[in-house]
A and B are shown apart, each in its own frame.
Chain A
Amino acid sequence: MNPLIIETAKSVIASSAPLVFAGIGEMFTERAGVVNLSLDGSILLSAMAAFAIAFLSGSLILGFLGGMLVGMLIALLVAYGAIALKQDQVAIGFVLTLLCADLSSFIGKPFVRKPGPSVPHWPIPGLVNIPVIGRILFDQDVLVYASYAVILVAWVWLFYTQAGLRLRSVGERPEAAFARGIAVNRVRYLYTALGGALVGLAGGGYSLSVKLGWSHRHTAGIGWIALAIVIFGGWHPFRVAFGAYLFGVLKSVGSLLQPGFPNIPTQVFQAAPFALMLLALLLVSGDREGLARRLPKPLRAIVQALLAGRPPAGLGKRFEQG
């Protein structure tokens, strides 16, 4: 197979890993019925924190843990404001988006463009020799392997464990969950925190691997994409991951095409995937049945399976026991 394609696929998989973490993390949060809108700011702040801690301590692990802690604390603040203080979670999330972005700029100033540690490349012996797939999937770093694991574990957790069943019930119909002895708000805190930790991991993923280092507004825009792919992915781990990879493909197609159109400024290519994600969102939110009917039969089932999915019925709704 064309080595360029293999290299591109490999880089798409690698560069999408943080988006997978953020998407799956937010999926967990929303499955529990809470919207953490602060992602764009959380990722920035946790990316900065992860880089700064790793830079100062020399330890990648401490860096990642610091990023995850930051993501978790922000998420818990959203949950606390929404659940305990009964404020609009969208408002709190939005304010935190701006606040965290500015915090990352202010606190991160001394770390701008400093060379820092990076996650080492680590091909998996044996698996890397599988033709084509081995080079694409297993010639990566640990973070990427962790992203595979997160997708799989999320899927098993949601659909094959008691805990996952409880999580889904809390997001779907909290009254029924409460009636079955589930502490609804505790589950909501728990998964908001877990989701936030994954979002923080995504931040660390950028500054310590995919987009090495730290600069002003280092990852701006990514958080919004993560929020969009949760919707695009119909709150299902596989389709959320698919959305993350799709965004990676769009980005790399953009940079591959760019040399062919010297008249169009690079900023257009950089913004194009964001606009395309909006289009994709329009596709899943609009008239799915009508769209499917117009497609040839073999495609129809695939498209329907891809586009299916609806938000948890209790998403964003407050729960108070009688």
Chain B
Amino acid sequence: MKIQLRDIYKYFGPVRANDGISLEIESGVIHGLLGENGAGKTTLMKILSGYQSADRGTILLNGRPVHFRSPADAIAAGIGMLHQDPLDVPAFSALENLALGSPGGPFLNRARARRTLETLGRRFGFSLDPDAPVSSLTVGERQQLEMVRLLALGVRVIILDEPTTGISAPQKALLFQALHQLSQEGLAVIFVSHKLEEVQELCSRVTVLRQGKVAGELRAPFATDEMVSLMFGQALGTYGRRPIPLGEIILQVENLTVRSPRLELNGVHLTVRAGEVIGLAGLEGSGQRLLMLACAGLQKPHGGRIILGGQDVTGRPYTTFLRHGVAFVPAARLEEGLVPGLTLREHFALAGDTRGFLIRWDEADARAAQMIADFNIVGQADTRVEALSGGNQQRALLALLPERLRLLILEHPTRGLDIASSRWIWHRLLERRERGTAILFTSTDLDELVEYSDRIVVFSGGKMSAPLETSRVTVEELGYLIGGRGL
């Protein structure tokens, strides 16, 4: 089967997610779709698989134009997509997920679903518990289940969106092997990623997207420099970072245990000094968030101690942590950080001193005006936060932080931002560092971790590595640790 995408346009308000993209995909090939966050990869694939419709442009299958009005249409035409966050029903068992939406009689045929799961599972070496609720499976296993489901429905084109995020090293190996097998059987595989190494390892052809447009097409073997310059438009330079002397001890974590329903992080020791930047590396869901929440006072530890500036604050409420100068900036800005419906001015009133009865609007106005100028926020004091763009929301979140902080905890501080915005955000963060604030942050971007951290700790399956001096570690070494090797 041959797929041709011709002049695909898709705008979201002012954002040009796809700005006239044309692409050809052939059977029997693993075709990479490379680009940084926000380049338009996922939007394009959602259009191809029927989740979204293009504003303009055509899709041709074997030369014939097709119109998908739903994912089901696309699957019927043989195109299936695996989403980064698997689109399954967590409350259902694996079998029920497999049976949902597959053809059959009026009754729920668990036996047939079980046979399908066994046959296809055996073919690719997947071993999935058919009766366990999907919510108890790992992301990798849920991905395997979705793959089995799509193959059982007879798809001939399989799209994988960032499939290696959040899965273990053996699962990744298994996945790559399965993808090779599928392409040998004549399926077209589209592998969407922003990771150079993976694309190099797996794909024979690559299309690079940048800012909603095709930046270039390459055939294996790929030169790293070339891919990087297509992705980013220029070769990456390193950020000049002044070394500063570290100050007093800000945070001491001693033998900490934190539990969530799905993960236990235990035996964590960490000491952080004023002005120090610690990067928390690892696949998502390996324990970084638990450590951050515990250090921010948002999750009560089950064991161990947290000492802030010499004072034991273990198990104390979040407000105590706030008083000790700890702040947490979540990744989900509009869900956890900002209040949709309230204006910037109201946010600044809320984030400032709220003692007293009547709101001191003049104070809030002055602060809003200063921060909007200071942080280059595109918006006015009476702009509601949901009307801001992602980058401006992140700037607003940073602007809302108290002036003097001892410890700043950031979850994916530059996720979804363009390079210029990311740089700018880090510029402001490093300023704080120079004023003695210690920073803990997570990122899935190894380059970001290496570039900005003094030390890096790596998480894998609820364990934390000893801190590594960034000056003495390479990206490859980190990759190994993140994959669960050497911990």
Contact = CB atoms under 8 A, between A and B. Distances in A.
A313 B90 contact: yes
Interface string B423-465: 0000000000000000000000000000000000000000000
19 contacts: A159-B108, A162-B104, A162-B108, A163-B106, A165-B100, A168-B89, A168-B92, A172-B90, A172-B91, A173-B89, A175-B87, A178-B70, A179-B87, A180-B72, A181-B101, A321-B70, A322-B51, A322-B52, A322-B53
B107 interface: yes
B52 A313 contact: no
Contacts of B104: 162
A169 B108 CA distance: 13
A183 to B, nearest CB: 8
A181 B102 CA distance: 9
Given A168-B92, A181-B71, 4 more contacts: A165-B100, A179-B101, A182-B72, A321-B70
A162 B107 contact: yes
Interface of B: 46, 51-53, 70-73, 75, 87-92, 96, 99-101, 104-108
A-B pairs, top 4 by smallest CB distance, nearest first, are A181-B72, A180-B101, A322-B52, A179-B71
A285 interface: no
Given A180-B100, A321-B70, A322-B46, A165 B90 contact: no
A161 interface: yes
Interface in A158-216: 159-166, 168-169, 172-173, 175-182
Contacts of B89: 168-169, 172-173, 176-177
A159 to B, nearest CB: 7
A223 to B, nearest CB: 28
B51 to A, nearest CB: 5
A172 B89 CA distance: 7
Q: Among the interface residues A163, A172, A177, A322, which one has the most CB atoms of the partner chain B within 10 A?
A: A322
Interface of A: 159-166, 168-169, 172-173, 175-182, 312-313, 321-322
A176 B70 contact: no
Contacts of B107: 160-162
Contacts of A172: 89-92
Main secondary structure of the interface of A (DSSP, over half): helix
A176 B82 CA distance: 11
A159 B106 CA distance: 12
A76 B73 CA distance: 29
A173 B85 CA distance: 13
Contacts of A182: 72, 100-101
A166 B92 contact: no
Q: Among the interface residues A162, A168, A180, A322, which one has the most CB atoms of the partner chain B within 10 A?
A: A180
A180 B108 contact: no
A160 B95 CA distance: 12
Given A169-B92, A176-B89, A164 B108 contact: yes
Contacts of B108: 159-162, 164-165
Contacts of B101: 166, 177, 179-182
A27 B486 CA distance: 51
B105 to A, nearest CB: 7
Contacts of B96: 165
Q: Among the interface residues B53, B70, B100, which one has the most CB atoms of the partner chain A within 10 A?
A: B100
A168 B200 CA distance: 42
Contacts of A312: 91
Given A169-B100, A173-B89, A162 B75 contact: no
A311 to B, nearest CB: 10
Contacts of A175: 87
Given A165-B96, A169-B100, A176 B87 contact: yes
Given A160-B107, A160-B108, A177 B100 contact: yes
A248 to B, nearest CB: 30
A181 B75 contact: yes
A8 B104 CA distance: 46
Contacts of A165: 92, 96, 99-100, 108
B340 to A, nearest CB: 15
Contacts of B75: 181
B402 to A, nearest CB: 35
A181 B70 contact: yes
B26 to A, nearest CB: 25
A321 B107 CA distance: 27
Contacts of A173: 87-91
B30 to A, nearest CB: 23
A165 B100 CA distance: 6
B92 A178 contact: no
A253 to B, nearest CB: 36
Contacts of B92: 165, 168-169, 172
